Amino acid sequence: MTFKVFISSSVRDMQIVRELKEILERYGIIPVLPSEVILPMPIARVINQQIQTSDCVLVIVGRGGERSETVNFELGVATALNKPVIPIVEEGSEIPENLINKEYILMDRNRPKLSYERAAQYLSRLKVEKETRNAIGGLLLLGLGLLLLSALASSD
């Protein structure tokens, strides 16, 4: 079962995104980055589709990145699609207004890997929860199917 995470960040935080991407992949999580897609369609539509097909959005808020128009647009899309948003906020950064009431992972720029691991572990738990929900749903459908077959067999 796939678990996709859209990573939102400003251009100046691309090094963070590259390092985080590697860690997420080790946990079996598929990172989705708008910068990796080249399609003959408007970027806003690409971002909307990517967020829509992702399980959640991980947003990197670095110093100065809180004013990124792209990040704010992506957060707006995530909110409109009711996607969970997990922020990683660099110490000393201003938290964007639309993230003020959310829990976040604090990142020390001198030791960022600890924050990446925390994010990956949290996302890994979300992945397991999704897999469990899907497994339970499959079992329920199987049970309903067996009941239906039993009812059909007894009506003959």
Percentage, residues of the chain above pLDDT 90 = 26
Do 5 and 55 meet the contact criterion of CB atoms below 8 Å apart? Answer: yes
- What is the average pLDDT score of the chain? 83
Q: What is the CATH number of the domain that holds 42?
A: 3.40.50.10140
Write the CB contacts of 4 (distance below 8 Å, at least 6 apart in sequence): 29, 30, 31, 32, 53, 54, 55
User: Of residues 31 and 44, which shows the higher confidence score?
Assistant: 31
Reply yes or no on whether the pLDDT at 24 is more than 90: yes
77-125 confidence digits (pLDDT tens):
999 999 999 999 888 888 777 777 888 888 888 888 888 888 888 888 8
Three-class SS state of 84: coil
Question: Closest Cα partner for 107 from 32, 16, 31?
Answer: 16
* Partners of 4 in beta bridges: 30
Q: Residue 11 is encoded by which pair of tokens? A: 């251009």
Number of domains the chain contains: 1
At 85 the pLDDT is: 92
Reply yes or no on whether the pLDDT at 146 is more than 80: no
Residue 40's pLDDT band, with cuts at 50, 70 and 90, is: low
Residue 142's domain comprises 4-155
Residue 30's pLDDT band, with cuts at 50, 70 and 90, is: very high
